[in-house]
Amino acid sequence: MAALPWHDIDTVLLDMDGTLLDLHFDNHFWLEHLPQRYAELHGVSRAMAEMELQPLFERHAGQLQWYCLDFWSAELKLSVRELKLETAHLIALRPDADTFLAAIKKAGKRVVMITNAHRDSLSLKLERIELAPYFERLISSHDYGFPKESPQFWDALQADLDFDPARSLFIDDTLPILRSAREFGVAHLLAVSEPDSRKGPKDTGEFGAVGDYRDLVAGL
C-alpha cells in the first residue's frame, strides 16, 4: 500500500468494529452465541432458531435498526446487552491499532470515531478497551438517526463537525459505507483487509486496504 499523503489530511474518521476492534467478537455473537441462546431461551432447536433469525437479519441489514440493541431485544424478546456480556471476553483490539491512534493524535490530526454501533454496544466495548482518550469525539450513527450507509448520515456529520471531506481520511471495513463516504466527497478512503482475525483476508473491492496499522504511520 502506498504511503498516505498526510500533509493533505487534517481529519481522520475511524470506524470501530472490524476497523479498530477485531470483528470476531461481533461475528461470533450474532452468528453463534445469539442463535444458541435464542434457542435455549425460547425452547426451540438451534436449527429452528437460525430459520427464524436469518430472514429477520436479512430484512434489516444495512438499516439503522440492524445496529440497534433495543430493536433486537424487543424483536427477539430477550436482552441482547445481557447476552453480549456473556461473550465480552472476546472483545479485542486489532494489532497495533493503538499505536496508530497514538501516532495520529501526537501528529495533531483531528481524530473522530464514527460507528454504527448502538450506544450500549459502544459503552460495553469502551469499558474493556481504552479507546476514548484518542478521540475528539465518539459519534454513533444513532445520534443522527441514519446509518453510515445513508447520505443523510454524512450531511448530519458535516453539520455537526464542520470538517473538510477533501482533507479527510476515513477507514472502515464495510464497502457500502466506504462508497457512501466517497459519494459525499471524502477524498482518502481505506478498507480493512482482515477485519475478523479468524476469517482471513477479504475482498476490499476498489479500495486500498490496511493490513498493518504500523504501515500507515510512515510520513506522519
Give the model's confidence band at 2: pLDDT under 50 very low, under 70 low, under 90 confident, else very high: low
Range of the domain at 161: 6-22+91-217
**Do 141 and 190 belong to one domain?**
yes
Give the model's confidence band at 75: pLDDT under 50 very low, under 70 low, under 90 confident, else very high: very high
**Do 57 and 71 belong to one domain?**
yes
Work out how many domains the chain is built from and give that number: 2
**Do 31 and 13 belong to one domain?**
no
- The pLDDT score that the predictor gives to residue 137 is 97
The reply to whether 199 falls in a domain is yes
**Do 83 and 108 belong to one domain?**
no
Mean pLDDT (whole number) for 55-82: 91
- The pLDDT score that the predictor gives to residue 112 is 98
Q: Which residues are catalytic?
A: 8
**Do 79 and 101 belong to one domain?**
no
- Residues of the chain with pLDDT > 70, as a percent, come to 99
**Do 18 and 82 belong to one domain?**
no
The reply to whether 193 falls in a domain is yes
- The pLDDT score that the predictor gives to residue 18 is 97
List Cα–Cα distances, 158 to 19, 163, 184, in angstroms: 22, 6, 10
- Residues of the chain with pLDDT > 90, as a percent, come to 92
Instruction: Give pLDDT tens digits for 118-131.
Output: 999 999 999 999 99
Instruction: Give pLDDT tens digits for 163-193.
Output: 999 999 999 999 999 999 999 999 999 999 9
Segment among 59-73, 115-129, 198-212 with least mean pLDDT = 59-73
pLDDT for 23 beyond 80: yes
- The pLDDT score that the predictor gives to residue 1 is 62
**Do 127 and 84 belong to one domain?**
no
- The pLDDT score that the predictor gives to residue 63 is 86
Whole-number average pLDDT of the chain: 95
